[in-house]
Homo-oligomer: A and B are copies of this chain.
Amino acid sequence: MLKKERHAFIIKQINLHNKVLSADLATALNVSEDTIRRDLMELDDSRQIVKVHGGALSKSFHYPFQHTDIYAVDAKKAIARKAIGLIKSGMMVLTGGGTTVLEMMQALPQNLAVTIFTISPLVALQLADHPLVTVILIGGEFSKDSQVCVGSQVVNYLHEIKFDICFLGTNGISIADGVTDSDLNIVHLKKAMINASHRLVVMCISEKLNSVQRMNVCPLSKVDYLITDLDPDSAVLDDYREKGIQLY
């Protein structure tokens, strides 16, 4: 077995599985681990793979997300575009926090005159230079984790007003468990927001579809619209369509 052959084999394995272990290669190729290690070194030196302790990884595997500031921006922008279509002039809109909502506010047309209530300081700041929008920031204890206002103050406030439409990003949505989240405060909050709104729009990037978090926010029956980055006719969404949710 020539060195070149081993190298070819290793590259093939990595392309196949995205990773290899030194020990596996040693037995598979019937050479010592030192040899494998030296092979991996060379392939790393020639930038064909990335050597790590214990084996090697495919180059594309090496931190695929580092370059985008916000993850899945494009998907979120797509969702934002669709979501904006649901807003009509004169509406009272309620929004949560989250990057998807932020994208949405950034893309809000300049000629839309609405009142936006939000629990997210970031959303408020984002709308600061929008000429026609009135922004009401709902105050309360500021959660360092989720960067929104939470707590009973917010919940009480929400009891007193009725909104036309509520936009929520979500961390988990599935057929079986509906909308779920992982933070107790946020769950309380979202429940109150949902109850305070005439219609509910849930926004979810396709990667998060059918994922379940620890705590229950609301059943799917409460969701009026589900917006994803997918084609609304996609088969992936069939189950949601059958539940009577409007897809965008």
Contact = CB atoms under 8 A, between A and B. Distances in A.
Contacts of A15: 65, 71-72
A11 B65 contact: yes
Interface in A137-191: 137-142, 144-147, 149, 157, 171, 182-183
A210 interface: no
A85 interface: no
Contacts of A66: 48
A107 interface: no
Interface in A92-145: 98-99, 121-122, 124-125, 127-130, 134-142, 144-145
Contact of A61 (B58, B135, B147): B147
A133 B168 CA distance: 28
Interface stretch (A1-9, A220-228, A236-244): A1-9
This chain: copies in complex: 2
A152 to B, nearest CB: 12
A198 interface: no
A127 B142 CA distance: 9
Interface in A55-72: 55, 57-58, 60-66, 69-72
A19 B145 contact: yes
Given A12-B65, A139-B149, A125 B122 contact: yes
Contacts of A125: 63, 121-122, 147
Given A17-B171, A127-B142, A57 B2 contact: yes
A8 B12 CA distance: 22
A31 interface: no
